């Protein structure tokens, strides 16, 4: 059996932010800025590589992701209580939709915007114990659940051609693929099941060549999978809890990687929680704009 290719470059720290639970990087090509969140020390971070400017906006509750809107200073935020518009200048919020008001123990986790402007996101048990989470699609006015219930719903991400949505059941170590019909995800099919020694699948991103980059929570790496689910390459990351990646930079060939410091001794794992970057050698696709902002 041939060993998978190891990526030729090592990720280095882009921002030494030491996030308790960094997640959800997204590149705003309009401003040349990467945004990401800290779920457990709730905040939205922004970094502009060209100038080196970095800012942090503290928010009042756990935040799983942010999505771009037509206004670069306003995002759709996946808060514990539901989706809301968030003004990055003032911190003001405007509630939009609450997917699970009958499940106060749940929170929104990761999210992604499809080419039609629809927002796909997952929910999970905040204690990571109950199989009470699932996936949702929001078209700007209506919510619709899809996929099986799970403890920790991760992903989602869409293929470059917009025809396949990938979702993750982190606890069961499964990555699923859903065909899309009129932006509606069809029943899941297994794409990849992680081996025991790989850690758990977390966030993911798709590149312009239809390959899928899956982050390994507890595995210190990202794996690039071919469209048929076989391994194309492994990208080692110098910290254990790798949460999500996104393509950015002028030509979308820089991979930004969020990580988590939660539960890690900074003397043993000093780079835990930082934002990393590495040249991917392939390009991603631009982040889509949510249609849900006025």
Does residue 1 have a pLDDT over 70?
Answer: no
Does residue 50 have a pLDDT over 80?
Answer: yes
148 compared with 37, residue with greater pLDDT: 37
In which region does residue 141 sit, left (phi positive, over 0), alpha (psi from -120 to 50) or beta (all else)? alpha
pLDDT for the residue 148: 85
pLDDT for the residue 155: 87
Where does the pLDDT of residue 265 fall: very low under 50, low under 70, confident under 90, or very high at 90 and above? confident
pTM for the whole thing? 0.97
Q: What percentage of the chain has pLDDT greater than the value 90?
A: 94
pLDDT for the residue 104: 92
- Per the annotation, the verdict on 202 as an active-site residue is yes
- Average confidence score pLDDT of the chain: 96
| pLDDT per residue as tens digits for the range 7-47 | 999 999 999 999 999 999 999 999 999 999 999 999 999 99
Q: Please identify which of the residues 202, 207, 265, 269 carries the catalytic annotation.
A: 202
Does residue 207 have a pLDDT over 80?
Answer: yes
Q: How far apart are CA 202 and CA 218, in angstroms?
A: 10
Per the listing, tokens 């942090």 go with 56
pLDDT for the residue 293: 47
| pLDDT per residue as tens digits for the range 60-111 | 999 999 999 999 999 999 999 999 999 999 999 999 999 999 999 999 999 9
pLDDT for the residue 294: 47
Residues 6 or more apart whose Cβ sits within 8 Å of residue 1: none
pLDDT for the residue 106: 96
Enumerate the domain spans of the chain. Answer: 5-279
pLDDT for the residue 176: 98
pLDDT for the residue 292: 56
Residues 6 or more apart whose Cβ sits within 8 Å of residue 90: none
DSSP line for 5-27: EEPSS--EEEE----SSEEEEEE
Does residue 228 have a pLDDT over 50?
Answer: yes
pLDDT for the residue 125: 94
* Fold assignment, 5-279: Neuraminidase (2.120.10)
In which region does residue 156 sit, left (phi positive, over 0), alpha (psi from -120 to 50) or beta (all else)? beta
| pLDDT per residue as tens digits for the range 175-198 | 999 999 999 999 999 999 999 999
Q: What is the DSSP letter of 220?
A: T
């Amino acid at each position: 059996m041939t060993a998978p290719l190891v990526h030729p470059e090592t990720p280095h720290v882009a921002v030494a932010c030491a996030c308790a639970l960094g997640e959800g990087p997204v590149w705003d090509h309009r401003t040349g800025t990467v945004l990401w969140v800290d779920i457990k020390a709730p905040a939205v971070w922004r970094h502009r590589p060209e100038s080196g400017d970095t800012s942090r906006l503290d928010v009042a509750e756990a935040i799983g992701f942010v999505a771009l809107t037509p206004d670069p200073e306003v995002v759709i935020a996946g808060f514990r209580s539901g989706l809301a518009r968030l003004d990055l200048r003032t911190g003001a919020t405007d509630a939009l939709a609450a997917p699970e008001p009958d499940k106060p123990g749940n929170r929104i986790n990761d999210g992604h915007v499809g080419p039609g402007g629809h927002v796909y996101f997952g929910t999970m048990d905040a204690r990571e114990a109950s199989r009470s989470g699932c996936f949702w699609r929001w078209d700007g006015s209506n919510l619709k659940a899809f996929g099986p219930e799970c403890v920790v719903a991760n992903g989602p991400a869409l293929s470059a051609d917009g025809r396949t949505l990938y979702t993750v059941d982190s606890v069961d170590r499964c990555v699923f693929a859903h065909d899309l019909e009129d932006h509606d995800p069809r029943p899941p099919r297994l794409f990849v099941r992680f081996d025991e020694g790989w850690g758990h699948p977390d966030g993911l991103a798709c590149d312009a060549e239809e390959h899928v980059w899956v982050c390994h929570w507890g595995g210190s790496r990202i794996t690039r999978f071919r469209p048929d689910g076989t391994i194309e390459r492994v990208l080692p990351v110098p910290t254990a809890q790798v949460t999500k990646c996104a393509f950015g930079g002028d030509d979308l060939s820089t991979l930004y990687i969020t990580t988590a410091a939660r539960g890690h001794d900074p003397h043993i794992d000093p780079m835990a929680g930082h934002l990393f970057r590495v040249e991917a050698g392939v390009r991603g696709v631009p982040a889509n704009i949510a249609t849900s902002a006025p």
